[in-house]
Structure 1
Amino acid sequence: MADLSKLTIADARDKLRAGDVSAVELTKDCLAEIEAADALGAFVHKTPEIALERAAAADARIKAGDAPAMCGIPIGIKDLFCTKGVESQAASAILEGFKPEYESTVSQNLADAGAVMLGKLNMDEFAMGSSNETSTYGNAVNPWKIDDRELTPGGSSGGSASAVAADLCLAATGTDTGGSIRQPAAFTGIVGLKPTYGRCSRWGVVAFASSLDQAGPMTKTVRDAAIMMESMASHDPKDSTSAELAVPNFEAMLTGDIKGKKIGIPKEYRMDGMPEEIEQLWADGTAMLKDAGAEIVDISLPHTKYALPAYYVIAPAEASSNLARYDGVRYGHRAKLAAGDGIVEMYEKTRAEGFGPEVQRRVMIGTYVLSAGFYDAYYNRARKVRALIKKDFDDVFAADVDAILTPATPSAAFGLGEMKDADPVQMYLNDVFTVTVNLAGLPGISVPAGLDKQGLPLGLQLIGRPWEEGDLLNTAYALESAAGFVSKPSKWW
């Protein structure tokens, strides 16, 4: 059976159970696709030996009849997740050669469920970026192509998005601090789910901004996202922010019935200068949900306009604190020192060599806003704004709104290098529709809903109530069914 890597998780699970295909065959097909796809820059640490070993174990488990849904499914792991004995660099030169002696809780949960790790995936350095251009490994490339340009797969989970869209793996893990799962998913025509903050453990995931980071699945369909989400989520005593809540069977909640559900359309998301195609896609998505029986209501989230400034104070502040541990003393890169250099010079040289320009920029911003004279003016004020943004959502959900529909991104994928010389704020504007969800700790999902006039995928975002990922996934399932998006990139790599 050819093209096994093109299967969805749900289809592969059924074929594995029926004995139509083995996990080893499925894994070998994915490994062959990965070897032929170096032009995409998606996989940065390949682990074929681990993959084949886990696939063989999965086949034995399936034969024994005690296999969970993810058993035997080949996946990619974002380089932000620590994986025991395998390079885990967060795409940064400062962590070159770092092989942890422990496994992140999320990747361990997936391994325990029998999932097969094919390797580690490219990303923006320390998850800081919206285009996967800040990686020490070089750019990840979008498999979608419309001319001779290479397009961004989005960021920071660009390698994950590229690998899933190009059928190198059946699914991948991502992390989302300000849109890093949902924006790349929209740019590559796949599904990306950012769960409620605390649903997935952050233990063993290299920290960017601890109050915003959240792991989630990046998959080909909403059903696959539901299946993978159930394996990833768990209560974890090692993470103090992990929620002690039972993980439901998300797949069982996919009925597609959204009759009577209230879907909010926030007026503040109608941005000046928003491309007509995005506006049209949003209107089409609204009509699809209405046709499926949902009630459409206009809502207001009045503090939305302050979300980006608040995010770009809070996230760098937390990053500067988290990244202080990379000092050349305990692990990772250490700069060569000249005679007479002391510990201060070692810190300075190590960080100057190890951190890329975007990480340096954010660390400096974060250090500035936390400094004695500016803490109240910037950081404390941003925290108050964050509380107001969360209250906006609380008020809307208190008025019986079940989900909120917005665009996922302000544009389709752009060319790599096109924003290199622009003001960094232009790049930050890519997150304009997604950062509010992280600031409020809510679940959000990007669903591919159409193509722009050039033929590039566009996504719609649904935002749900806290801890109600099942309900959100069901609404996304109804939207996915109505949109009927089946386009795939043509293979050029």
Structure 2
Amino acid sequence: MSLLREAEKCLANQKTCASLNAFITPLQQSGPWRERVREAESRREKGTPKSPLDGRLIAIKDNICTRDMPTTCASKMLESYTSPFNATVVQLLENAGAIVAGKTNMDEFGMGSHSMYSHFGPVVNLTECGKEKVSAGGSSGGSAVAVATEQCYAALGTDTGGSVRLPAAYTGTVGFKPSYGFLSRFGVVAYANSLDTVGIHGSNISTIRNIFHTLNHYDHHDPTSHLPPTRARLASYAHPTSRPLRIGVPTEYNINELSPPVRAAWHRTLAHLQSTGATIHPVSLPTTEAALAAYYVLAPAEASSNLSRYDGIRFGTRNPKLPDNAGPGGYLYAHTRGRGFGKEVQRRILLGTLSLSADAMENYFLQAQRVRARVRDDFDQVFARGNPFIKGDLESGVVGGAKKGLEDGVDVLVAPTAAGRSPTINEVQGMGEVEGYVGDVFTVPASLAGLPAVSVPVRVEGEGMHEVGGRGSVGMQIIGQVGDDEVVLRVGEVVEGMDGKGT
């Protein structure tokens, strides 16, 4: 298919699938994109494309700044805001010839697991089984649905505690969260700085890899971006090829709440990996049970600090019914935030403010930081490669005080992305506040540790198909050590090949 026909098909699908609400700002039919696609087509015919992404339509989550389209974060607070610059990741895509396909819907400021908390209405997942509307996952649900319904070639999202991987599992797409610090966050509206990671949605691993290679560069604008010497050092530690791949199976992920279709898909995935020569090893990540609670202390605490700038004076939409001199009582500030933020954002700001208060900081915030350190240590204990940011680990094989060599640890972990099927919209609306957070239980640990992880769809066979929410697949998550992004993607390709997918 020509690039122009592919782009026109994406635009036609955006119109046809408008009821799914995947886009807040779709690409305009009358825009200059056709000429750019034709130029890319000409370069491809001459054998001189800018990159594999030249002329492709890539959607951008609406918390990533774009110069030519509004950036709203799905919030009333920013509904009229347009950035004067592109985020670094957007600029790198445009430099590679890609075209922004629109801004995708999301949970407001990234705070949610089902893309329900949007000022512009919820995202709806296309379902083939039954007539009930199904959750798309969150917070990058719009990006995942846009890819699943071919409204774009690929999409960028952000992953703070699973916001790329969970929607991928629910929509039958591939969702990749790189190692923290690999992709620039400059121009990404912050939710929780120590956790936020730009992620990628695609229909296969090959597409994900092309975008990852395009974006994986040092950015001096982002203080968390790994420096070139660090990137070179990480790339120099080649994985051993003299032995079979060692796959770790976290026993703590084998919970009672795991649905039969997910459990069957997990077993089938491990059996397929074993048939390719890999060896399977049970491992223990004992702090996993406390990871979710720690996340929901740390992320809201950082959000409370980050979102304080939206006060109607520095940033945010001011309440027009109040005069400029609203008085020393703070009515301008209070009314702006009270009417500008949705209920879930208000809830998390309050949670974060509480955990940062003087009386609660020791019991909540500092305790959660200790749990986060233990989560990181758990992963370091099971991986064959040591943590590259702990001096001596890679050279000596000493991790956390225990002697360990490459033959003792595992190369990647394989586990479900979500414990069960995608819930219906009605089920999500009936959930309590705490119940709505539990869906992140398998994705949060990798986020706390800054690890690379990819969710790959695995087909559910037989009687379980009607239980997985519509697409006949569940997400399998491959998690690797910091810097092992390529290893994670290679194993993802093996899993992808099990069902004849990929390129």
Q: Does TM, scored on the shorter chain, surpass 0.5?
A: yes
User: Do the aligned partners of 1:275 and 1:410 also contact (CA within 8 Å) in 2?
Assistant: yes
Residue identity opposite 1:408 in structure 2: T
CA distance in 2 between partners of 1:141 and 1:430 (Å): 17
Q: Contact between 1:104 and 1:203, CA under 8 Å: does it hold in 2?
A: yes
C-alpha offsets along residues 128-169 of structure 1, whole Å, 9 cap, x if unaligned?
111110011101111123222111111001001111111111
> Which of 377, 385, 391 in structure 1 is aligned with 2:377?
391
8 Å CA contact retained: 2:309, 2:315: no
Deviation at 1:63, TM superposition (A): 5.0
1:113 corresponds in structure 2 to 96
Q: Secondary structure at the match of 1:109?
A: helix
- Partner residue in 2 for 1:370: 356
Counterpart of 1:490 in structure 2 is none
The match for 1:104 is 87
User: Residues of 1 paired with 2:190 and 2:76: CA distance?
Assistant: 16
Amino acid at match of 2:426: G
Aligned to 2:227: 244
- Deviations, residues 337-371 of structure 1 (Å, cap 9, x unaligned): 44662261111111111110010000000000000
In the alignment, does 2:325 pair up with 1:325?
no
**Aligned-partner SS, 2:383:** helix
Of 409, 429, 432, 2:441 maps to: 432
SS in 2 for 1:133: coil
Give yes or no for contact 1:327–1:351 (8 Å, CA) kept in 2: yes
Question: Tell me, what secondary structure is at the counterpart of 1:32?
Answer: helix
TM-score, normalised by the number of residues in structure 1: 0.89
Structure 2 distance, partners of 1:78, 1:195, is 16
Say whether the 8 Å CA contact 2:372–2:449 is kept in structure 1.
yes
> CA distance change for structure 1 residues 178 and 202 in 2, over 3 Å: closer, same or farther?
same
Report matched runs for 1:74-89 at 5 Å.
Answer: 74-89=57-72
* Pairing 1:346–2:332 present: yes
Distance 1:288 1:153 in 2: 28
Q: Aligned with 1:419: secondary structure?
A: helix
1:52 and 2:34 equivalent?
yes
Structure 1 range deviating more: 445-454 or 350-359:
445-454
The TM-score normalised by the length of structure 2 is 0.88
2:501, 2:56 → 1: CA distance? 23
Q: Which of 249, 258, 265 is the matching residue for 1:265? A: 249
Kept in 2: contact 1:142–1:162 (CA 8 A)? yes
User: Which position in structure 2 is the counterpart of 1:479?
Assistant: 495
1:13-55 deviation per Cα after TM superposition (whole angstroms, max 9, x unaligned): xxxxxxxx2x333222211221121111011102331533432
Q: CA deviation at 1:331?
A: 3.7
* 1:418 counterpart SS class: helix
The 5-angstrom pairing of residues 211-250 of structure 1 reads 211-245=194-228
CA distance in 1, matches of 2:501, 2:262: 16
Q: What SS does the aligned partner of 2:69 have?
A: coil
Give me the whole-angstrom Cα distance separating, in 2, the residues matched to 1:258 and 1:411. Answer: 37
Specify the code of the residue in structure 2 equivalent to 1:304: T
Distance 2:312 2:326 in 1: 14
Q: The residue matched to 1:86 in structure 2 has which SS?
A: coil
| Superposed displacement of residue 270, structure 1 | 1.1
CA gap of 1:189–1:66, structure 2 versus 1, over 3 A, is closer
Change in 2 beyond 3 A, CA 1:140/1:258: farther
2:151 aligned with 1:168: yes
Shift of 1:222: 1.1
1:401 equivalent among 400, 410, 413: 410
Distance in 1 (CA, whole Å) between partners of 2:131 and 2:264 is 27
Partner of 2:177: 194
Q: 1:53 to 1:86 in 2, by over 3 A?
A: farther
Is the CA contact (8 Å cut-off) linking 1:74 and 1:115 kept in structure 2? yes
**SS of aligned partner of 1:297:** strand
Matched, 1:155 2:109: no
SS in 1 for 2:354: helix
**Could you tell me how far apart the structure 1 residues matched to 2:459 and 2:119 are?**
33
Give 1:62's aligned residue.
44
Distance in 2 separating the partners of 1:484 and 1:300: 32
- Identical-residue share of aligned pairs (%): 40
Q: Give the deviation of 1:245 after TM superposition.
A: 4.1
Amino acid at match of 2:487: D
Task: Give ranges in structure 1 of 5+ residues lacking alignment.
Answer: 5-20, 249-256, 487-493
Query: Contact 2:322 / 2:332 at 8 angstroms: preserved in 1?
Result: no
Match of 2:17 among 34, 37, 41: 37
